[in-house]
């Protein structure tokens, strides 16, 4: 596999569970490289020889390194290329410039690398990005991405998968898969056709976007199983002990003042129950005022890179130590920033080793990453079965 826009390597973390070998990883961020090497390297003092700190637009450099790595590992051709290209210009939290933005347009640099690989380009491609890709610039960016992959010979499938089906974190993401040999992806005897009805993986908005595209190859939206039921067990993933960096009472009181009436009432009800409870919150500007918006559904909000106080998630824990209001804050209610280890857990990478990296770098790394068990689910139902069928067909010739 080739891992583009690798970040801290959570796609690799997911796929190596089933035996995938990464022979090339690419990114621009030296700090994420340090985390990647701390986790995947056998010796933290050594650089991984397959890691390439390079701009994907430097096509000749990237292609040369991919081919050199493949040859050194005696790989006839890589089987899979993954690309979690930057979502900055696609995200609601970003600038919504779409492919006209400098960062998200790096997708086309990735596509150029595939084109330059020629006959050695992988038979399988997996893209990951925010669901905003479906509607960026009126849907034109989704069409552009699909058309570019089709120009390279890939038949397309896509789906929407939320991390909440595997961990208690709301993180909906769009995945686009490309297949050079579609006959080995669809069930035997099936013909390419668009689904007649929506599903958990392909809601109405996604199918509308698909129907608005006419790639030169075609769509092959194969039947996939529904993902597991959402995980609403956030309290099992959050540390409540006294070793955590809980805020002083004054800071808790200040944030209590940011709650809307309805959210404050729900916090009070949970405190009155005397049962231990956990929730997460973000600070937001609403109608010119700073608000603390809390999730009460047992699921954390989407992890983000900590660019300012509104992007970093806050943990609330209470219920067991106090039941009444005292002054401006509720006795027994505690608050703090979510920790790096909790970020790792909520991305399904609780054992990730980041060495001596600073907490801020770890938060950036995980905020930009993918959910490991979500990628493993895709591997189990899409990637590995396709490659196995492709290998079986070649052996039978």
**DSSP symbols for 38-64:** HHH-SSTTS--TTEEE--TT-HHHHHH
CA distances from 326 to 193, 323, 332 (A): 63, 10, 10
Q: Give the C-alpha separation, 60 to 53, whole Å.
A: 14
- Residue 326's pLDDT is 43
Name, in order, each residue with C-beta under 8 angstroms of 391's C-beta and a sequence gap of 6 or more. none
- Residue 329's pLDDT is 43
Complete DSSP assignment for 247-265: PPHHHHHHHHTTS-HHHHH
Structure tokens at 189: 């005897």
- Chain region(s) in the chain for CATH 3.40.50.150: 2-226+371-396
| Alpha carbon distance, N-terminus to C-terminus of the chain | 24
Phi, psi of 74 (to 5 degrees): 55, 45
Name, in order, each residue with C-beta under 8 angstroms of 185's C-beta and a sequence gap of 6 or more. 155, 157, 179, 220, 222, 386, 389
pTM for this prediction: 0.92
Complete DSSP assignment for 157-203: EEEEEEGGGTSSB--EEEEEEEES-GGGTSPTT------SS--SSS-
Q: Give the C-alpha separation, 97 to 240, whole Å.
A: 40
Of 113, 2, 11, 133, nearest to 58 (Cα)? Answer: 113
4 bridge partner residues? 83
Name, in order, each residue with C-beta under 8 angstroms of 312's C-beta and a sequence gap of 6 or more. 304, 306, 337, 338, 363
- Residue 309's pLDDT is 54
Rounding to the nearest 10 degrees, give the CA dihedral for residues 46, 47, 48, 49: -110
Residue 127, H or E segment:
strand 124-130
The answer to whether the CB of 373 falls within 8 A of the CB of 346 is no
- Residue 42's pLDDT is 66
Over its length of 397 residues, how does the chain's per-residue pLDDT go in tens digits? 999 999 999 999 999 999 999 999 999 999 999 999 999 986 655 568 899 999 999 999 999 999 999 998 788 889 999 999 876 655 555 455 555 556 668 899 999 999 999 999 999 999 999 998 998 888 889 999 999 999 999 999 999 999 999 999 999 999 999 999 999 998 776 777 777 778 999 999 999 999 999 999 999 999 899 999 999 999 999 999 999 999 999 999 999 999 999 999 999 999 888 789 999 999 998 888 999 999 999 999 999 987 755 688 999 999 764 434 444 345 689 999 999 999 999 999 999 999 999 999 999 999 999 999 999 999 999 999 999 999 998 776 5
The answer to whether the CB of 37 falls within 8 A of the CB of 48 is yes
2-226+371-396 has which CATH code? Answer: 3.40.50.150
Helix 359-367 crosses helix 30-40 at what angle (to 10 degrees)?
90
- Residue 38's pLDDT is 93
Q: Give the C-alpha separation, 103 to 97, whole Å.
A: 10
Name, in order, each residue with C-beta under 8 angstroms of 277's C-beta and a sequence gap of 6 or more. 235, 270, 317, 318, 319
The answer to whether the CB of 160 falls within 8 A of the CB of 173 is yes
């Amino acid at each position: 596999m080739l891992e583009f826009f690798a970040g801290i390597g959570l796609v690799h973390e997911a796929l190596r569970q089933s035996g995938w070998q990464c022979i090339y990883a690419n990114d621009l961020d030296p700090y994420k490289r340090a985390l990647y090497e701390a986790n995947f390297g056998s010796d933290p003092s050594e650089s991984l020889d397959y890691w390439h700190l390079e701009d994907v637009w430097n096509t000749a450099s990237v292609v040369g390194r991919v081919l050199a790595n493949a040859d050194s590992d005696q790989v006839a051709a890589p089987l899979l290329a993954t690309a979690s290209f930057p979502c900055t210009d696609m995200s609601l939290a970003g600038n919504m410039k779409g492919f006209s933005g400098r960062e998200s347009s790096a997708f086309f640099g990735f596509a150029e690398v595939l084109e330059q690989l020629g006959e050695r380009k992988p038979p399988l491609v997996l893209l990951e990005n925010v669901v905003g890709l479906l509607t960026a610039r009126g849907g034109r960016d989704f069409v552009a991405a699909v058309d570019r992959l089709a120009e390279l010979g890939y038949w397309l499938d896509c789906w929407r998968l939320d991390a909440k089906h595997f961990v208690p974190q709301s993180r909906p993401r769009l995945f686009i898969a490309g297949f050079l040999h579609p006959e080995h992806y669809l069930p035997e005897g099936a013909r390419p056709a668009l689904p007649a009805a929506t599903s958990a993986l392909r809601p109405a908005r996604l199918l509308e976007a698909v129907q608005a595209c006419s790639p030169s190859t075609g769509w092959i939206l194969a039947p996939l199983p529904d993902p597991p039921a959402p995980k609403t067990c956030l309290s099992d993933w959050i540390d409540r002990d006294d070793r955590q960096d809980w805020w002083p009472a004054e800071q808790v009181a200040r944030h209590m003042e940011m709650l809307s009436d309805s959210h404050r009432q729900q916090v009070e009800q949970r405190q009155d129950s005397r049962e231990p409870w956990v929730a997460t919150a973000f600070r937001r500007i609403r109608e010119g005022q700073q608000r603390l918006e809390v999730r009460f559904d047992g699921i954390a909000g989407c992890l983000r890179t900590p660019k300012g106080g509104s992007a970093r998630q806050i943990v609330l824990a209470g219920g067991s130590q106090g039941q009444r209001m005292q002054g401006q804050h509720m006795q027994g209610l505690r608050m703090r920033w979510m920790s790096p280890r909790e970020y790792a857990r909520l991305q399904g990478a609780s054992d990730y080793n980041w060495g001596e990296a600073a907490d801020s770098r770890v938060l950036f790394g995980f905020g930009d990453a993918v959910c490991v068990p979500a990628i493993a689910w895709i591997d189990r139902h899409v990637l590995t079965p396709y490659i196995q069928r492709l290998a079986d067909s070649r052996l039978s010739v």
